Structure 1
Amino acid sequence: MINPVWLRSFCTLVEIGHFTRTAEQLNMTQSGVSQHVRKLEDHLGCPLLVRHGKSFTLTDAGDNLYLEGREVISALSGIEMRVGANPAYEGVVRIASPGSMGLKLYRHLLTVQQQHPKLVIDYRFAPNASVEQLIAENSVDIGFMTSPSTLADISSTAVAEEELRLITPAGINTPSWKQLMALGFIDHPDGAYHAGLLLSANYPEFQHVKQFDSAGFSNQVNLILEPVCMGLGFTVLPTYAIEAFGNTAAVTVHRLPHQIRETLYLAVDRNKVLPNRVNTVIAEAMACLK
C-alpha cells in the first residue's frame, strides 16, 4: 500500500512545481521531499518524474499517480476534518427518561431542533430501570431518572425536583380519606410509588395503594388524567405530567399540606467523554427543568 505521507509530498510537489517551495509548504527539507519521491518510485518500480536541473516533468506514471493521488489526499483530508469536528449543534443526540419528565423536555428540545435543524433529537420514554440499561448498552447518550442509578459505570447527578400532586375529579376541594376510598385509584406504571410517597405523608390511614379499589390503569402518561376528569377515580402524578394535560379544568389538582418532591437525576456513562452536541442538549434540558 502506498504511504500517504509520501503521496502527499508528491502531489504537493506537482501542484507547486518547485522542490524548495514544496519543502517550505510541508515544513520539510528539500532532501526530504526528494527522498519521498524516490521511495514512491522504488515502491511502484517506475520513474515518476524527469528532472531538468531545478525543474522537472512528469512521466506517464507520474501523471497517473497525481490524478489518482489527489483524490486520495482529498478524501484523507476530509476524514481528518470529519473525525476532528465536534460541532455543538449538529448530529443525533439520544435521550431517555420517564414519561412525566419526557413530556416537559421533549417539546422543549424539539424547539431547539427547529432552531438548529442539523441537531437531531432522538427521545425515548422509559422507566428508570430501562433508562440506565439503555445508557449501559450505549443505546442512548444521556438519561434522566427519578432515582439514582444502581449501576457502577453510570454517573447520576441530582439536577432538579418535581412535586407530586393528588388529582381528583373536579368539585372536590379538600379530599378526605373517605372520599378517596370511595373514588378508587387510577393506576399507572409509577402509581404505587408516587401514591406511597405522597399519601403516606398526608393521610395516617394510608398503608398501601391496594387499600383502594382499582378504578383503572394507563401506561400512557398523557392519558392518565382522562378517567379522572370523567369522575372515575383519583391518582397521584408529578407536576410535569399534569401541566401536559390539556383539560385541567375538568380535574382538581391538590397541593397537600405535606409536600413531596421527587428528585430528578441526570445519568451518563462515567467512562465516556461527551461530545459538544450532547453537552448542548444537557444545557438546554437543565434550563427547561429549572
Structure 2
Amino acid sequence: MINPLWLRSFRAVVQHGNYTRAAEQLDLTQAAISQHMARLESATGSLFVRQGRSLELTPRGQALLDYSQELDIATHRLQQRLSSSGPLSGPVSLAVPGSVGLKLYPALLAWQCHHPAIRIDMRFAPEPGILSALLAQEVELGIVTLPPSDSRLHRTLLGQEALCLVLPASSQASRWQDLVDLGWIGHPDGVAMASRWLARAFPGKQLADIPQRGFINQIGMILQPVARGLGFAILPQYAVQAFPDQQAIRLWPLPQPVSDNLWLLRRREWPLSRAAALAAEQLQQRLA
C-alpha cells in the first residue's frame, strides 16, 4: 500500500503546480515534499513533466491521482457504512432506464418524504450510459436488463418487465407485412428491445427490413408519434402504462410475453452508503 502521507503531498503538488506552495499548504519543508515525490516515483515511475516552473502529470501521474481520489471516495463510503446507527441522510445517486424510472421515481420520492435528510439524485439513461456511470463512480446504483460481464460490478436480480409492441389504436396490423408498411419509432434502447421482441414473435425476420419513421430520446414522448399513427414502438411495460392517452394506442397480443430481467448493479469493491443500501431495499420491494 502506498504511504498516505506521500499521496497527500502528491495531491498538494498537483493542486498547486509546484513543491513550494504544496509545502506551505501542508506546513512541511520543501525538502520533505521532494523526498515524498522521490519515493513515489521510485515506486510508480515518473509522475511529472517539468515545463519551466510548472508541472504536468504524466500518464503514470494521472493514474496515481485517479487512485488517490478513488481511495478518498472509498474511505468516505466506508465511514458512512460503519456509522449505520447514525442518522439517515445524504445523497442517493442512481441511473436507470427511462421506463423503470417512471415507476420508481414516485416511490423513491415518497420514501424521501419520510426521510427528508436524504437527497434522491436520479438520472435516466440508456444501458451503456448506466454502466459507464457506475464504473466512473458517478452513481452508486444502476438498473439494467442485460447482466454485465465486468467483474467490478455486483448484480442482484430485482424482477422482470414485459416488452410490448405498441400500435396506433386505429391500426389493424396483424401480420409482419403490416409492421413493415407501418414503420417503427426509434429510441435509445429501441434496437435492442425490438430485436428481442421480434425474434420471439417473428423468428427469422429482421428489424432492418422495417423503415424507421422517427427517433425520440425522451421516454415520456416515445408513444406520441405512435398515437398519431406514424409508426409502432417497442417499449417496456412500465413506459406504456405511464402514457396518458391509453385510448390512442393498443398492444400487439402475444401468447407468451417477451420479458426482460431487471438487475440492480453497484460497484463490487465500494461499500454503499447507509442511505443507498436502504434505497436498494426499496427498489427490491418495488420491483419484486
Cα deviation, residue 205, structure 1: 5.7
| Structure-1 separation of matches of 2:243 and 2:81 | 43
Q: Give the TM-score normalised by structure 1.
A: 0.67
- Which residues of structure 2 form unaligned runs of 5+? 1-78
| Structure-2 separation of matches of 1:183 and 1:172 | 9
| Structure-2 separation of matches of 1:204 and 1:175 | 15
Change (3 A) 1:82 1:221: closer
Q: Give the TM-score normalised by structure 2.
A: 0.68
| Cα distance per residue 1:131-169 (max 9 Å; x no partner) | 122112221111111111232211122221110011000
| Structure-2 separation of matches of 1:88 and 1:98 | 30
Verify the 8 A CA contact 1:89 1:277 in the aligned structure 2: yes
| Structure-2 separation of matches of 1:175 and 1:82 | 56
| Cα distance per residue 1:188-216 (max 9 Å; x no partner) | 11111111111121124622x12111111
Choose 1 or 2 for highest CA Rg. Answer: 1
Change (3 A) 1:230 1:271: same
Aligned counterparts, 1:43-82, within 5 A: none
Query: What is residue 143 of structure 1 aligned with on the other side?
Result: 142
Query: What is residue 254 of structure 1 aligned with on the other side?
Result: 252
Query: What is residue 274 of structure 2 aligned with on the other side?
Result: 276
| Structure-2 separation of matches of 1:143 and 1:160 | 14
Equivalent of residue 230 in structure 2, options 225, 229, 232? 232
| Cα distance per residue 1:159-194 (max 9 Å; x no partner) | 211100110000346622122111111111111111
Query: What is residue 285 of structure 1 aligned with on the other side?
Result: 283
Cα deviation, residue 88, structure 1: 6.4
Aligned counterparts, 1:170-249, within 5 A: 170-172=169-171, 175-204=174-203, 206-207=205-206, 209-249=207-247
C-alpha RMSD of matched pairs (Å): 2.0
Query: In structure 1, the residue corresponding to 2:282 is in which secondary structure?
Result: helix
Change (3 A) 1:257 1:173: farther
Change (3 A) 1:158 1:173: farther
Change (3 A) 1:118 1:202: same
Query: What is residue 96 of structure 1 aligned with on the other side?
Result: 95
| Structure-2 separation of matches of 1:259 and 1:88 | 44
- Which residues of structure 1 form unaligned runs of 5+? 1-80
Change (3 A) 1:88 1:249: farther
Identity of aligned residues (%): 34
Structure 2 counterpart of 1:227, which letter?
A: P
Query: In structure 1, the residue corresponding to 2:264 is in which secondary structure?
Result: strand
